A and B are shown apart, each in its own frame.
Chain A
């Protein structure tokens, strides 16, 4: 069964600094996708970045980059130049292609607080 683990319940970062949010996963499927979502206090799920299991290069989207280490089964999110508006819950998620009906399974989440 697929499993997503985020071991950092809470993180603090100084404004303008970079921060890494950890995520490890476990799957028996060869084809899968890894996602990061941001959830502010309003509750909406904001898609940040996606990495496919066959993508050779790490995904980047503006200030977000995904450090994908397939052999270690890790997909850490790096946020550069943190902003106060980055304070939110961050969820790592995985979706298998052939197993589990394509459903998206989430990790426990990391609450990020950006200090001015």
Chain B
């Protein structure tokens, strides 16, 4: 089945530094990738939608200059948290889709990345 690899699974960084999280589709071409953020005991909140070769579409309230998303190829999307602060500490999870819509089996999630900013 479709596999999405997300790396790193966890990262600790100092306040003010930038952190990059990668999301790779291993055995399919991901035309669309979604980035979510999840705080403890809360739901997944969609941050942005990225389509290969074009600019990401950010959800309302998400700072595009802080959360840089790049989808340069059909198998890789990256989320960079710039100038991270403790309030950015969260669980970030990506999801990849091979086509616009054709049922459940084309939306695959990565295992998530837990970011802690000291």
Chain A residues in the interface with B (C-beta under 8 A): 31, 33, 35, 37, 42-45, 47, 49-50, 52, 91, 95, 97, 101-109, 111
CB B36 to nearest CB in A, in angstroms, measures 8
Chain B residues in the interface with A (C-beta under 8 A): 32, 34, 38, 41-46, 49, 57, 91, 93, 95, 97, 100-101, 103-105, 107, 109, 111-112, 114
CB B53 to nearest CB in A, in angstroms, measures 15
C-alpha spacing A38/B70, complex, angstroms: 28
CB A33 to nearest CB in B, in angstroms, measures 7
CB B94 to nearest CB in A, in angstroms, measures 10
Check A43 against B103 for contact (C-beta < 8 Å).
Answer: no
Contact for B109 among A45, A109, A111, CB less than 8 A = A45
- A105-B101 in contact given A43-B111, A43-B112, A44-B109 (Cβ < 8 Å): no
Check B43 against A109 for contact (C-beta < 8 Å).
Answer: yes
Contacts of A106 in B (CB 8 A): 43-45
Query: What would be 17 A-B contacts, judged by CB atoms less than 8 Å apart?
Result: A33-B103, A35-B104, A43-B91, A43-B112, A44-B112, A45-B112, A49-B104, A52-B103, A91-B44, A95-B107, A102-B32, A102-B97, A102-B100, A102-B101, A103-B46, A106-B44, A108-B43
Chain B at the A interface: mostly helix, strand, loop or mixed?
A: strand
Contact for A50 among B91, B103, B109, B114, CB less than 8 A = B103
User: Which chain A residue has the least Cβ–Cβ distance from B44?
Assistant: A106
B42, B46, B104 interface centre (most CB from chain A within 10 Å): B104
CB B32 to nearest CB in A, in angstroms, measures 7
Check B43 against A97 for contact (C-beta < 8 Å).
Answer: no
A52, A101, A107 interface centre (most CB from chain B within 10 Å): A101
Contact for A107 among B38, B43, B57, B100, CB less than 8 A = B43
C-alpha spacing A104/B36, complex, angstroms: 10
Contacts of B34 in A (CB 8 A): 103-104
- A45-B104 in contact given A103-B34, A107-B43 (Cβ < 8 Å): no
Contacts of A35 in B (CB 8 A): 104, 107
User: Which chain A residue has the least Cβ–Cβ distance from B93?
Assistant: A45
